[in-house]
Structure 1
């Protein structure tokens, strides 16, 4: 995990809060418009139906006319209400989508900055690790070369002393053999 500087973290939190508030404002505007539509619809229904509260007509043909007038107005009013409702909902949805897009673009910039910082920190850490590894390898190689050189020197000295000892032994043995060969010749 990487750690962000406090300034970047504060900027990120501020941007996130502003995005939240902006989206909430868009939703609340839509909710307020729907509330106003509902209040207006209720007021219209009340004002139009004040005439309905009058006593029902006594004549049967007047009752049929009265019912047909009420029933023909209901679908028209429901369709009008639905049109207004869906217009408000779609407008709010578009506003929220635009706001979300702009916030995403802004947020994406913040995220790019955060990722760039993280990559820079990771690069610095990997460079430090590479330098430390290289230094350790050089030290190990130097120590290994020195140990090998010391072992080779000691082996060469030991071999030289063994060769000198063998040479001396052969010389001494050869002199002794020569002396023993010469002694019998002198007796005769």
Structure 2
């Protein structure tokens, strides 16, 4: 049985975890807002500069050159923005996962202790049922660890694919811009 002190300590730990996760969530939102404000300011400034440049164009050839030079930096900035966005989401998600895994490990340990205590106080002849229960707990723990490893591997693969895709897209825009410049 749990004592009142153990219950209070457990509730206090849960509240501290909730506070920590809420703080991390707000930090993630703050970073996202900061990223969006920075991107909006930069886009507004660049738009004004680009408009001024277009207004000073003297012929169609110069206009085409200006437009061709616009696409490469735009693609690079979009890739950088998406990378920052991914990093913010990934960091926040990692904090939540770490907290969840910690609480789950704690719960598993408490449950294992409960099963162990129950097995010590079990009536004679119930050894088979206790062994089955212990095996079920061990199997569930192993299954959860396997799922965690699979999720981690899938996450790593997704991140690698995202990085490769962003790099490929940026390279494609650079190549297209270079090709457009050569045709002029």
Which secondary structure state, in structure 1, belongs to the residue aligned with residue 51 of structure 2?
A: coil
Bigger mean CA deviation after superposition, 100-109 or 19-28? 100-109
| Within-5 A mapping of 1:1-188 | 4-54=2-52, 56=55, 57-109=57-109, 115=114, 119=118, 123=121
Larger Rg: 1
Which secondary structure state, in structure 1, belongs to the residue aligned with residue 91 of structure 2?
A: helix
- Structure 2: runs of 5 or more not aligned: 124-184
Which secondary structure state, in structure 2, belongs to the residue aligned with residue 12 of structure 1?
A: helix
- Write the distance in 2 (CA, Å) between the matches of 1:10 and 1:83: 43
Deviation, 1:106, is: 4.0
Deviation, 1:64, is: 0.8
- Structure 1: runs of 5 or more not aligned: 127-188
- Write the distance in 2 (CA, Å) between the matches of 1:47 and 1:32: 23
- Write the distance in 2 (CA, Å) between the matches of 1:112 and 1:10: 21
Inter-CA distance 22–111: structure 2 relative to 1 (3 Å threshold)? farther
Q: Deviations over 1:88-107 (max 9, x none)?
A: 22222222222322333345
Which secondary structure state, in structure 1, belongs to the residue aligned with residue 49 of structure 2?
A: coil
Aligned to 1:131: none
Inter-CA distance 26–36: structure 2 relative to 1 (3 Å threshold)? same
Q: Deviations over 1:70-92 (max 9, x none)?
A: 22322111111111111222222
Inter-CA distance 47–83: structure 2 relative to 1 (3 Å threshold)? same
Native 8 Å contact 1:23 1:96 kept in 2: yes
Aligned residue pairs total 122
- Write the distance in 2 (CA, Å) between the matches of 1:25 and 1:13: 18
Deviation, 1:34, is: 1.7
